[in-house]
């Protein structure tokens, strides 16, 4: 079955990418240059499906196209990029761990903001703006809770009142 030749559209469909993606992979060296028919159509072997899927899996894992190209280039030259792949994978994990930590902080900030907004809404007369957006933290990492609200309790006029986490 390896002798069966695939046109670019069939390769793209069977591997789950666009024909433009296959052409791009070929252009940047992720795929070997395709054989051409007398009419100039690209023809690929069945193994090209596995190559495209390998590249797609590597991208989903978190490697960049540049990294995958380099790894496969080392392999094509007879080398073993395994330690470089492992090291790059460890860096991806570190980046994911940082993102999780940042998202955890963001989640807590949003929870606190919602608590503050609930308090502000409870103190704002019907039909008056509660100025919720003005209660957002000004900078990265700042929690809005504990900041002074600009909305008065009864009149809705700008006054200083304390947020729910402070003593009244």
Q: What is the pTM of this model?
A: 0.69
Q: Please, what CATH class does the domain formed by 5-80 belong to?
A: mainly alpha
Question: What average pLDDT does the chain have?
Answer: 85
Q: What is the dihedral of CA 113, 114, 119, 120, to 10 degrees?
A: 70
Alpha-carbon span 68 to 74, nearest angstrom: 10
User: How does DSSP classify residue 149?
Assistant: E
What pLDDT is stored for residue 79 in this prediction? 97
What pLDDT is stored for residue 135 in this prediction? 85
What pLDDT is stored for residue 140 in this prediction? 61
Rama region for 100: left / alpha / beta (φ>0; ψ in -120 to 50; rest)? alpha
| 76 band by pLDDT with thresholds 50, 70 and 90 | very high
């Amino acid at each position: 079955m390896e002798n069966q030749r695939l046109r670019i559209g069939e390769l793209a469909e069977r591997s789950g990418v666009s024909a433009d993606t296959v052409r791009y992979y070929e252009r940047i060296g992720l795929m070997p240059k395709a054989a051409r028919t007398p009419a100039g159509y690209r023809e690929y072997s069945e193994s090209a499906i596995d190559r495209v899927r390998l590249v797609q899996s590597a991208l989903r894992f978190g490697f960049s196209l540049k990294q995958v190209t380099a790894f496969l280039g080392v392999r094509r030259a007879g080398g073993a990029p395994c330690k470089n792949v492992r090291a790059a994978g460890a860096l991806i994990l570190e980046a994911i761990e940082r993102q999780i930590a940042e998202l955890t902080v963001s989640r807590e900030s949003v929870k606190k903001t919602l608590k503050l907004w609930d308090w502000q809404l409870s103190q704002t007369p019907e039909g008056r703006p509660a100025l919720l957006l003005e209660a957002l933290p000004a900078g990265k990492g700042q929690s809005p809770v504990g900041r002074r609200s600009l909305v008065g309790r009864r009149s809705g006029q700008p006054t200083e009142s304390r947020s729910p986490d402070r003593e009244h």
